[in-house]
């Protein structure tokens, strides 16, 4: 049998354990960053979905032939929306049978997420 020489190449157990500790730390940091990015992307997706619903609600009411004071609400998937239609004083220069309405829509989702939009509509 041959005897191992003192100059034998290889890693000691301490070196291997240190390398594993450094690799585990790097993986933990990278995993946390990816998790944060996924959470941010999910929040952005929810916000954009709510804005699309908000825009649709306001556009539908602006395109409606008749407008009257009202309060409506409903659900669309994970979103809950509300629409408030209230009259506002028309400018003095406005003659004829015109009325002005303020449309205020709010779309909410999850824990405290919401967006609000307002529009004015001139109607007969």
Percentage of residues in the chain having pLDDT higher than 70: 92
Query: What is the reported pTM?
Result: 0.71
CATH of the domain at 94: 3.30.1300
Q: How far apart are CA 53 and CA 23, in angstroms?
A: 45
Residue range 84-101: average pLDDT? 83
Q: What is the pLDDT of residue 10?
A: 82
pLDDT (tens digit per residue) in 67-79: 999 999 999 999 9
Angle at 65 between CA 63 and CA 69, to 5 degrees: 95
Q: What is the pLDDT of residue 54?
A: 96
The total of structural domains in the chain comes to 1
Q: How far apart are CA 93 and CA 53, in angstroms?
A: 34
Residue range 108-115: average pLDDT? 88
- Would 5 be classed as within a structural domain? no
Put the strands of the sheet holding 113-123 in their side by side order: 70-76, 79-88, 99-109, 113-123
* 116 within 8 A of 102, measured Cβ to Cβ: no
- Would 1 be classed as within a structural domain? no
Residue range 86-92: average pLDDT? 83
Phi/psi of residue 99, each to 5°?
-130, 150
Instruction: Take residue 23 and report the two structure tokens written for it.
Output: 């690799």
């Amino acid at each position: 049998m041959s005897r191992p020489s003192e100059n034998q190449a290889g890693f000691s157990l301490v070196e291997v354990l240190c390398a594993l500790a450094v690799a585990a730390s790097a993986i933990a940091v990278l995993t946390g960053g990816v998790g944060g990015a996924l959470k941010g992307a999910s929040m952005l997706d929810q916000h954009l979905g709510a804005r699309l619903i908000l825009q649709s609600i306001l556009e539908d009411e602006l395109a409606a032939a008749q407008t009257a004071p009202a309060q409506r609400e409903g659900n669309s998937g994970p979103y809950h929306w509300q629409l408030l239609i209230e009259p506002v004083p028309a400018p003095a220069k406005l003659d004829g049978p015109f009325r002005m309405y303020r449309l205020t829509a709010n779309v909410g989702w999850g824990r405290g997420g919401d967006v609000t939009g307002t529009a004015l509509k001139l109607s007969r």
